[in-house]
Amino acid sequence: MSAKDDLLSLKGVGAKLLEKLHKMHVFSKQDLLFHLPYKYQDRTRILPMKFLKANMAGVVQGKVTYSQVMFGKKRSLLVRLNDETGSVGLRFYFFTKGQQDQFKEGNIVRCYGEIRPGQSGFEIYHPEYQVLKHLNTPLDNTLTPLYPITDGITQNKVRLLVEQVIESRQTILTELLPALLLEHYKLPTLADALNVIHHPQRQDDIQDLLQGCHPAQKRLAIEELLAHHLSLKKHRAILKQQHSIAFTDTQNLKTQLLSALPFALTNAQTKVVAEIAQDLSVASPMLRLVQGDVGSGKTLVAILSALQVIEHGFQVAMMAPTEILAEQHFNNFTQWLEPLGVKVAWLVGKQTKKQRDEALAMIVSGEAKMVVGTHALFQDSVEFNNLALAIIDEQHRFGVDQRLALKEKGKHGHVHQLTMTATPIPRTLAMSAYADLDCSVIDELPPGRTPIKTTLIAQQRRPQVVERVNVACSEGKQIYWVCTLIDENEEMELEAAQKTFETLTTQLHPHKVGLVHGKMKPKDKASIMSDFKQGLIQVLVATTVIEVGVDVPNASVMIIENPERLGLSQLHQLRGRVGRGSQESFCILMYGETVSQIGRERLQVMRETNDGFAIAQKDLELRGPGEVLGTRQTGAMQFKIADIIRDQALLPQIEQLANSIIRDYPENIEPLIKRWLSDTSRFAQV
Ligand code: ADP
Ligand code: MG
C-alpha cells in the first residue's frame, strides 16, 4: 500500500484533507502518530482564582458580578467573575450584543484562557467560555493535545484522525529500541509512549506532560537525540574511512618557531598541539574541533599544526570569517613563518585583479605553503597544488556548504580538518552538535593577564563615560568604542557609528579617533587598523566587525553601546579584544533606556564572570542553541520533540545508547536515522 492510500483508508480523509495533511508533512499513518502535540491544555480541573498567576492557562469558573462596556483607548467589554476565593476579569475587544447579554449578573460562567496582568488586575482576553446551566457540569477527564496545524484544518480533526490510528491498533510502528535497552534505561515502549502523548489520561502526571518531562516524552526525545547522534557518528565513520596523507611529526619547523617566540606555550596549548600532531600522523582524515576561550592562543596552535604539514612540502589553508581577521592572520603568519622560509599567500574578495592573480599563481604552483583567506578560498578559480590541511577559524560562522567546498580542493587524499570555535560551546551542546568531531579544549589562558573589570552604565551617563575615555587617552591607553546593530539593520548601525565617530572626534580633541565598519574598502580598513595597532589612533569606533579575533594588546578599554542587542557569548568575544596586555583592562556596557529588568539581569552575568564556558552556558539557557552555535548546525539542532536545554541531563545516556546500538544492533541505525532525520539529514551529509 502506498503511503497515500494509507491515509485515505482513514474515515473522513478525502483528497482535500489529504492535501492539507501533506502540507503538515503528514504522508502516512506513521507520520500522523509522529505529528506530536506542541502543548496541552488542562481542562480537567478548575483553578481557584486566588491562585492565579500571570501566564497561567486553565479553566476558571465563577459568578458574573459586573459587566460593562469600557471606553478606554479601545472600546472593550469587561466582565468580572468571582468565585469563593477571588476574582478575575474577562476582556473582549470584539463582542456582540448577544454576548453582552450572556454575561448577566449572577450567571455562572466557565472559561478557558491565559491569565494576563491587565488594567483591572488579572484578566483573560477573549476566553473560550460557556454559560453553565448546572454548577456541576462535568470537566474533561483527559488533557487536550494541541497540534501544529495548517490553515483549513482544525485541532479537532487532527485529534480524531490520530485517535482512529491509535484505536485501529495496527502495528504500523516498528520498535527500534531493543527490549534489553528499554529495560536498562527504564523506558516505555514506543507504542505506549505515543499512546500517552496523544491521549494523556487523567492519571498521567499532568504537570510532567505540560513541562515535557513525562517518561513517554522522554522516551521519544531520547530516540530522537539518539537518531541525530547516530547520524553524526555515521557521517564521521564514512569520512574516517577515506585516505589522507600521514605526516610524521618531525618537529623541525615547530622547534624553530617555538625558540623564536618571546614566550612559552601554556600547558593547555602543548597538550592540544600534541593531540593534533597525533591525528595528522595517521593516514585517515583528522576531524578535530579546538575550543578555547577568547585569548587562549588558538592561532598559535593552528600555526604549529600547520608546520607539521608544511615541513613535508604540503599546503595548508586557513579560513577566517571576516576580511579584517584574514588580514590579521596573514600579517601574523608572515611575521612568524617567513623567517622559517615558509611563504604565505592571502585571498579575500576585494583584492585587485593583479593581487589576486599573483596569489592564485603562488597557490597553484605550491610556492605558497600557507594560504589565508575568507570564503574567497572556496571559489572554483582557486586551485591548490597539494592542499592537505584545512583550518577553519571561528568556524560556526561558515555554512556547511562552504566547508564542503574547501574539503574538495584536496587532490592527494582527503584533507585533514581542524576547526576552531571562537565561542566556547557548553559541554552538553558540544556532545550533541559535534558528535562527529574529536574535541580538544585549551582550558588555560597565557599567564600575566589581568581579569577585565566590567561595569554596567545607563546610556544617560554617557558624558561621564566620555570623560573617562578622555582621561584614559591622556594616560596613553587605547580604547575600542563599539556600536551594535540596530534592528538587524546594517545601514543604521553604520550611521550610528559614523555619528559617534564625529561627536567623539570633537569631544576628545586633540586625541585621535578612528572609524572602522563593514562597508569600508578593505584597504582603508586595513590602514585604520594598522594606525590603531601602532598607537597613532587612541580611540577606535567600530561596528561589530571587530567582534572576532582582532588582536591589539595595548588596547585596554572597551565601551559597548547597547550591549543588550547582542548575545552574551558575542559580548564576551568583543570584551576579549581587551585584557590582552599586562595592564588592567575595563569593559563598560552602556545599556539603552529601553532595557527591561530581565535584560539588565542578563547583562549582569558579564560583570560576574570572565569565563567563556560559563557565559556560553548562560547564553544557551537564555537564547537557545542557535545563538551559541551560530549558523553551524542550526538546522540539525532543530528537534521535533527533544529540547537540548530541557533534556541536557539525558545527553550522557545518549552517547552510551548510541554505542550499544552501534555495537549490538547495527541494523537499527538506518531505520532510526530515517525515522527522525528524513527532512534534515542533508545537514549531516557534510
Ligand atoms: P584566540 O584564542 O582568541 O584566537 P589568539 O590566538 O589571538 O587568541 O592569541 C591572543 C594573544 O595571546 C596573541 O597576542 C598571542 O600572540 C598571545 N599568545 C598566544 N599564546 C601565548 C602564550 N603561550 N603566552 C603568551 N602569549 C600568548
Ligand atoms: Mg582567534
DSSP character at residue 142? B
Q: Is 581 in the pocket of ligand 1 (CB under 6 A)?
A: no
**CATH superfamily entry for domain 453-609:** P-loop containing nucleotide triphosphate hydrolases (3.40.50.300)
Per-residue confidence at 170, pLDDT binned at 50, 70, 90?
low
Q: Is 291 in the pocket of ligand 1 (CB under 6 A)?
A: no
- 269 CA closest ligand 1 atom index: 23
> Nearest bound ligand to CA 264?
1
| Highest mean pLDDT out of 167-171, 671-675, 676-680 | 671-675
> Nearest bound ligand to CA 572?
1
* pLDDT for 487: 55
Q: Give the span between the Cα atoms of 487 and 484, in whole angstroms.
A: 10
Strand partners, 489: 486
On whether the CB atoms of residues 345 and 396 are closer than 8 A, the answer is no
- The residue among 546 and 473 whose pLDDT is bigger is 473
Quick one: average pLDDT of 65-81?
92
On whether the CB atoms of residues 340 and 257 are closer than 8 A, the answer is yes
- At 485, the amino acid letter reads L
* pLDDT for 680: 45
Nearest-CA residue for ligand 1 atom 25 is: 446
In this model, does residue 312 exceed pLDDT 50?
yes
Q: What separation in Å is there between the alpha carbon of 299 and the centre of ligand 2? A: 6
218's enclosing H/E stretch is helix 215-240
Quick one: average pLDDT of 645-655?
84
Residues 6+ apart with CB under 8 A from 419: 288, 289, 290, 391, 392, 395, 437
Q: Is 432 in the pocket of ligand 1 (CB under 6 A)?
A: no
Q: Is 579 in the pocket of ligand 1 (CB under 6 A)?
A: no
Sequential DSSP letters for 17-54:
HHHHHHHTT--SHHHHHTS--SEEE--SSBPPGGG--T
In this model, does residue 686 exceed pLDDT 60?
no
On whether the CB atoms of residues 437 and 275 are closer than 8 A, the answer is no
Strand partners, 480: 540, 558
- 292 CA closest ligand 1 atom index: 2
Q: Give the span between the Cα atoms of 467 and 665, in whole angstroms.
A: 68
Per-residue confidence at 404, pLDDT binned at 50, 70, 90?
low
Q: What separation in Å is there between the alpha carbon of 296 and the centre of ligand 1? A: 6
On whether the CB atoms of residues 79 and 93 are closer than 8 A, the answer is no
Quick one: average pLDDT of 574-601?
87
- The residue among 405 and 127 whose pLDDT is bigger is 127
* pLDDT for 632: 42
* pLDDT for 485: 66
Nearest-CA residue for ligand 1 atom 16 is: 297
Q: What separation in Å is there between the alpha carbon of 571 and the centre of ligand 1? A: 19
Nearest-CA residue for ligand 1 atom 9 is: 297
Instruction: Tell me which of 55-69, 83-97, 508-522, 625-639 is least confident.
Output: 625-639
> Nearest bound ligand to CA 580?
1
> Nearest bound ligand to CA 291?
1
Nearest-CA residue for ligand 1 atom 19 is: 297
In this model, does residue 631 exceed pLDDT 50?
no
Q: What rounded mean pLDDT belongs to the chain?
A: 86
> Nearest bound ligand to CA 296?
1
In this model, does residue 196 exceed pLDDT 60?
yes
Q: Is 423 in the pocket of ligand 1 (CB under 6 A)?
A: no
**CATH superfamily entry for domain 49-132:** Nucleic acid-binding proteins (2.40.50.140)
For the stretch 288-306, pLDDT in tens is: 999 998 889 999 999 999 9
Quick one: average pLDDT of 162-169?
84
Q: Is 298 in the pocket of ligand 1 (CB under 6 A)?
A: yes
Nearest-CA residue for ligand 1 atom 24 is: 446
Mutate which of 293, 300, 337, 578 to test ligand 1's pocket (most atoms within 8 Å of Cβ)? 300
- With 0.85 as the threshold, say if the pTM is over it: no
* pLDDT for 681: 38
Instruction: Tell me which of 31-45, 559-573, 596-610, 641-655 is least confident.
Output: 641-655
In terms of phi and psi (left: phi > 0; alpha: psi -120 to 50; beta: otherwise), the region of 323 is: alpha
* pLDDT for 633: 42
DSSP character at residue 644? T
Q: How many CB atoms lie within 10 A of CB 378?
A: 21
Quick one: average pLDDT of 339-345?
96
Q: Is 299 in the pocket of ligand 1 (CB under 6 A)?
A: yes
In this model, does residue 358 exceed pLDDT 80?
yes
Q: What separation in Å is there between the alpha carbon of 184 and the centre of ligand 2? A: 44
For the stretch 568-584, pLDDT in tens is: 888 888 898 888 777 88
- The residue among 426 and 36 whose pLDDT is bigger is 36
Q: What separation in Å is there between the alpha carbon of 259 and the centre of ligand 1? A: 16
Q: What separation in Å is there between the alpha carbon of 373 and the centre of ligand 1? A: 20
Q: Is 268 in the pocket of ligand 1 (CB under 6 A)?
A: no
Q: Is 294 in the pocket of ligand 1 (CB under 6 A)?
A: yes
- 300 CA closest ligand 1 atom index: 6
Q: What separation in Å is there between the alpha carbon of 570 and the centre of ligand 2? A: 13
Helix, strand, or coil (residue 242) = coil
Helix, strand, or coil (residue 60) = strand
Quick one: average pLDDT of 61-82?
93
Nearest-CA residue for ligand 1 atom 14 is: 551
> Nearest bound ligand to CA 290?
1
- The residue among 222 and 427 whose pLDDT is bigger is 222
Q: Give the span between the Cα atoms of 12 and 18, in whole angstroms.
A: 10
- 298 CA closest ligand 1 atom index: 2
